[in-house]
Amino acid sequence: MVWVDIVALLAVAQLAYFGVLVGGARARTKLMAPAITGNPEFERYYRVQVNTLELIPVLLVGLYLAAKYWSPAWAAGLGAVYLVGRFVYLAGYVKDPAKRGPGFGLSFGPIGVLVVGALVGIVRGLLHG
């Protein structure tokens, strides 16, 4: 389970890093808090952070439950794909929001597999005691 723990910690650290990028974009663009609109560069960084924040709870629950019912190495591997996907998402979204699709797929796909795997594991546990 140590790899699952490492992936979970990296996901939280990645979210914090995206927050730092938002702060840097706010400073560069001189968009004063509490405003979150008015500068397209800032808005792109902000959306990456918020979208990542929206996915973190689903990732962590799916990650830990899938690791409980299946292979922790398998779950950690899917979590690692999620992490790469988030960086691809960041690069695409900041360059052009229309280019965020591949990164979104690389991060949302593993979450879907983890959640479905967790649900299957839970159902199997209920049926087989």
For the segment 104-123, what is each residue's pLDDT rounded down to a tens digit? Answer: 999 999 999 999 999 999 99
Contact between residue 94 and residue 48 where contact means Cβ atoms under 8 Å apart: yes
Contact between residue 58 and residue 108 where contact means Cβ atoms under 8 Å apart: no
Contact between residue 20 and residue 68 where contact means Cβ atoms under 8 Å apart: no
pTM: 0.95
Q: Domains (ranges, CATH) in the chain?
A: 2-124 (1.20.120.550)
Backbone angles phi, psi at 49, to 5 degrees: -65, -45
- Best CA proximity match to 49, nearest among 106, 10, 90: 90
The pLDDT, as a whole number, for residue 129 is 73
The pLDDT, as a whole number, for residue 82 is 98
Percentage, residues of the chain above pLDDT 90: 99
CA 126 – CA 88 distance, rounded (Å): 38
